[in-house]
Amino acid sequence: MAEFDVDLAAARVAEQAERTGQEAAARFARSGPVVGKAEAAGVTVEVAPGGLLTGLTLTRAALRSGSEALAGNIVELSRRATRRAGDRMHQVLAPVLEPEQLAELGYEPLRPDDPDYDDPDDYYGHGELP
């Protein structure tokens, strides 16, 4: 029976993790901030992957729609923006992580026929996808 060298195996895993981290960092440097954005009816929402709100813009018209309608619009746009941020994160990391790893992290690609799909060719000024 062959002997298993735990130290060698651990060193290989650490080396692979370091290389993957460097590749991911280079892709983020080229892509710029990874965010999702959605807008409708005078409301613009921007979120980081995972849904952390990073920007909210309201027009006067949006404020006149009433608090319940405004809140519902913000929640729906936040959901759409979160899906878009996950799609963008998936695009950035797909070359360095396995599809199963991306899915475990919650980063799913959106299909062009998905209503939340945001064409990366029309992306709004946050750097080009690598």
pLDDT tens digit sequence for 98-118: 999 899 988 989 998 998 887
Q: Is 94 domain-assigned?
A: yes
Q: Is 37 domain-assigned?
A: yes
Q: Residue 65 and residue 51: Cα distance in Å, rounded?
A: 24
Q: Is 54 domain-assigned?
A: yes
Chain position carrying tokens 């936040």: 78
- Say what the pLDDT of residue 68 is: 95
Residue 82 has pLDDT above 80, yes or no: yes
Q: Is 127 domain-assigned?
A: no
Radius of gyration, CA atoms only, the chain: 19
Q: Is 108 domain-assigned?
A: yes
The helix/strand/coil state of 87 is helix
- Say what the pLDDT of residue 93 is: 92
Q: Is 51 domain-assigned?
A: yes
Task: Give how many domains the chain has, as a whole number.
Answer: 1
- Say what the pLDDT of residue 109 is: 92
What would the two tokens of residue 56 be? 């909210």
Residue 130 has pLDDT above 50, yes or no: no
Q: Which residues span the domain enclosing 110?
A: 6-122
- Say what the pLDDT of residue 35 is: 93
- Enter the pTM of the model: 0.78
Average pLDDT for residues 56-76, to the nearest whole number? 95
Residue 128 has pLDDT above 70, yes or no: no
Q: Is 72 domain-assigned?
A: yes
